[in-house]
């Protein structure tokens, strides 16, 4: 089968690989219909994350079941499905407490197990999630990143009527804007330095657009909130700069949720750090997208709101490409050649 395999730093190859086969009674083999590039794929491409040399890459996907193991129940050949790409050990203290996202051995396909940048991918049956007919493959390929975002919102104490600021309008931020609305936010502030991203933020539901190059984000937020700040601030840019600035956005007693991952050291000016202490902020980290019972309510909730149209991922998708264009696409993203939002690959094209 055709696949994209990672061999080293910025060395990804479009080549032939062996098709997965049924080895265990609970195995499910899925024909990949659409698979997206995740920010973690970009970092791993730069050799900033774990991988096995020559491993088939990718983990955000949807497809059609083509083979099932002898003990698989409730999933049959021909089913349209999304895949939860995450494996947990079930043995560590966190797993024993049902805190699966904190598993000591948490891993995702595309790192140590063959991933979904391929014509076929294999998962255990418990990782396979049936799709309603109302959710198409393009949308379903973004179930995983959407589940990542709502996992973070479930960590908050957010109530309907809250005001939310989303710092960074990349793929995660654009999903966070929509989840904030679903959770009952009366006003969502979208913050970025790119006006084109802010326009997409407006399309998916942001109420106020803030370009932080014009004035500091916190000053603009204070203007809109009578000097108080927001109830919840989401850091979704993954930038060392915004990872400090986000502390100035919430009101006293507010919350900050970190969804972005800055792959560099963070230096926090005293002005921003003191906001944590003086405003008695709650600072939350959010990791992965699974909970107990596995894979967690993050997945069922995501699919529900995709089926109702309240989660609209179509404006986020900027490129629809064949797998063969993978090496060039990854190079373009790293080299900043062109503007890329969510990229979807289609193994069946061509």
Cα–Cα distance measured from residue 113 to residue 213, given in angstroms and rounded to the nearest whole number: 42
Q: What is the biggest distance separating any 2 CA atoms in the chain, rounded to whole angstroms?
A: 62
Query: Do residues 318 and 340 touch, judged by C-beta distance below 8 A?
Result: yes
Task: Give me the pLDDT at residue 44, please.
Answer: 85
pLDDT per position as a tens digit, 198-256: 999 999 999 999 999 999 999 999 999 999 999 999 999 999 999 999 999 999 999 99
- Relative to beta strand 80-83, strand 128-130 is antiparallel
Cα–Cα distance measured from residue 283 to residue 258, given in angstroms and rounded to the nearest whole number: 8
Strand partners, 11: 8
Cα–Cα distance measured from residue 137 to residue 292, given in angstroms and rounded to the nearest whole number: 26
Q: Is 330 helix (H, G, I), strand (E, B) or coil?
A: helix
| CATH number listed for the domain at residues 2-142+313-346 | 3.90.180.10
Give the containing element (helix H, strand E) for 16: strand 11-16
Asked if residue 155 has pLDDT above 70, the reply is yes
Task: Give me the pLDDT at residue 90, please.
Answer: 97
In this structure, whether the domain defined by 148-285 belongs to CATH 3.40.50.720 is answered with yes
Q: Which two tokens stand for residue 346?
A: 């289609």
Give the containing element (helix H, strand E) for 326: helix 326-335
pLDDT per position as a tens digit, 72-115: 999 999 999 999 999 999 999 999 999 999 999 999 999 999 99
Cα–Cα distance measured from residue 276 to residue 280, given in angstroms and rounded to the nearest whole number: 6
Q: Which two tokens stand for residue 278?
A: 């003086």
Domain ranges of the chain: 2-142+313-346, 148-285
Asked if residue 350 has pLDDT above 80, the reply is no
Q: Which two tokens stand for residue 280?
A: 């008695």
Q: Which two tokens stand for residue 238?
A: 């993954």
Task: Give me the pLDDT at residue 47, please.
Answer: 75
Q: Which two tokens stand for residue 147?
A: 């589940």
> pLDDT above 70 covers what percent of the chain?
99
Same fold, 2-142+313-346 and 148-285: no
Categorize the per-residue pLDDT at 264 as very low, low, confident or very high, splitting at 50, 70 and 90.
confident
Asked if residue 48 has pLDDT above 80, the reply is no
Query: Do residues 215 and 222 touch, judged by C-beta distance below 8 A?
Result: no
Mean pLDDT of the chain: 96
């Amino acid at each position: 089968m055709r696949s994209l395999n990672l061999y080293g730093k910025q060395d990804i190859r479009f080549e032939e690989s062996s098709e997965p086969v049924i080895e265990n009674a609970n195995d499910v083999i899925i024909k990949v219909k659409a698979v997206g590039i995740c920010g973690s794929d970009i970092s791993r491409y730069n050799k900033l994350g774990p991988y096995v040399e020559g491993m088939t890459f990718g983990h955000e996907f949807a497809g059609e079941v083509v083979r099932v193991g002898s003990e698989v129940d409730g999933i049959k050949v021909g089913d349209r499905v999304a895949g939860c790409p995450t494996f947990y050990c079930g043995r560590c203290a966190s797993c024993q407490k049902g805190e699966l996202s904190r598993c000591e051995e948490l891993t995702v396909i595309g790192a140590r197990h063959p991933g979904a940048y391929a014509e076929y991918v294999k998962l255990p049956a418990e990782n396979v999630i049936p799709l309603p007919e109302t959710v198409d493959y393009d949308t379903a390929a973004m179930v995983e990143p959407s589940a990542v975002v709502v996992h973070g919102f479930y960590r908050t104490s957010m109530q309907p009527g809250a005001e939310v600021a989303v710092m960074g309008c990349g793929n995660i931020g654009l999903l966070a804007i929509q989840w904030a609305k679903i959770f009952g936010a009366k006003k969502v502030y979208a913050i970025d330095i790119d006006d084109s991203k802010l326009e997409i933020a407006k399309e998916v539901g942001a109420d106020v657009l803030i370009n932080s190059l014009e004035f500091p984000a916190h000053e603009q937020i204070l203007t809109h909130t009578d000097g108080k700040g927001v109830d919840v601030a989401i850091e979704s840019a993954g930038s060392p700069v915004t990872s400090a600035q986000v502390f100035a956005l919430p009101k006293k007693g507010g919350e900050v949720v970190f969804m972005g991952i800055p792959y560099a050291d963070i230096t926090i000016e005293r002005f921003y750090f003191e906001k944590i202490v003086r405003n008695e902020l709650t600072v939350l980290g959010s990791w992965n997208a699974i909970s107990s019972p596995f894979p967690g309510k993050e997945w069922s909730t995501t699919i529900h709101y995709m089926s109702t149209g309240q989660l609209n991922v179509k404006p986020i998708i900027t490129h629809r490409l064949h797998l063969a264009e993978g090496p060039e696409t990854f190079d373009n993203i790293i080299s900043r050649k062109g503007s890329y939002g969510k990229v979807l690959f289609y193994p069946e094209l061509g």
